[in-house]
Amino acid sequence: MSNSARPPKRRMFGPGTTIEDLKTYMGPFAASLGYRFNTEAEFVDEVLASELEILEATGDVYCPCRIRTGDPKEDVAIICPCIPFHREQFAAIRKCWCGLFIRTDVSDGAELLGVMDEPEAGTPIDIPVCRVSDLKPGSVRHVKVGKNDLAITRVGDEFFAVSNICRHAFGPLGDGVMEGYELVCPWHGWRYDVRDGTTDHPGSDLRVQPLFIVNEYVMIRTSA
């Protein structure tokens, strides 16, 4: 791989951190989640300038449109880019809460500024869970989508999603290994066929959810 193809090096936060530094490390990460900076460049700079003020005051880049409560569990979910914590909501409104990031399939970010229309109940929402190239054949990883914890896997060019929690002792299947179509739990070796969630242990089949590909992203469908 040539130097130019490597992702930009992450900049440390500290005195002298600039808007460009934030763009350098946030951009590639957002792209891996199916998002990019808003096409409204001035708006992006306004939000990032606010984040730098917050960085100076608090030590991290919290969302300028949400408040820190002091509860670490709540506050970690508003550190920018906070997309993994809000995949379902952001996929539905096609941008992150403050609009710094828009989905890669939105061509004009200006259209979404000041638009908070959430889809009506029952409307299907397609959520990017990762980039195709980030899930190698034979690999498995944990992804959180709304309240659901999923283990997503790839066998050749087929993609599967099962519940992340082993039915035996609640082991994290996203940390398991793949053997063919079988996902092996990292805790005690229970095996599940990722195509249909079945296992040899009676009454312990996993819930499965279909995945599909749009452009370079692995997607899952939920509804509002």
- The residues of the shown chain that bind another protein, judged by CB under 8 A, are 43, 46-47, 50-51, 53-54, 64-67, 69, 74, 78, 97-99, 114-117
CA-closest candidate to residue 90, choices 61, 125, 122, 41 = 125
Q: Which is nearer to another protein, 38 or 163 (CB)?
A: 38
Closest separation between CB of residue 181 and another protein, Å? 40
Q: Which is nearer to another protein, 74 or 108 (CB)?
A: 74
| 3-class state of residue 61 by DSSP | coil
Closest separation between CB of residue 85 and another protein, Å? 12
Closest separation between CB of residue 76 and another protein, Å? 13
Closest separation between CB of residue 109 and another protein, Å? 13
- Does 81 sit behind a cis peptide bond, omega within 30 degrees of 0 on the bond before it? yes
Amino acid at 165: I
Q: Which is nearer to another protein, 114 or 203 (CB)?
A: 114
Amino acid at 129: V
How far is Cα 159 from Cα 147, in angstroms, rounded to an integer?
21
The CA–CA distances, whole Å, from 76 to 47, 83, 164, 222 equal 19, 11, 22, 24
How far is Cα 146 from Cα 38, in angstroms, rounded to an integer?
23
Q: Which is nearer to another protein, 23 or 66 (CB)?
A: 66
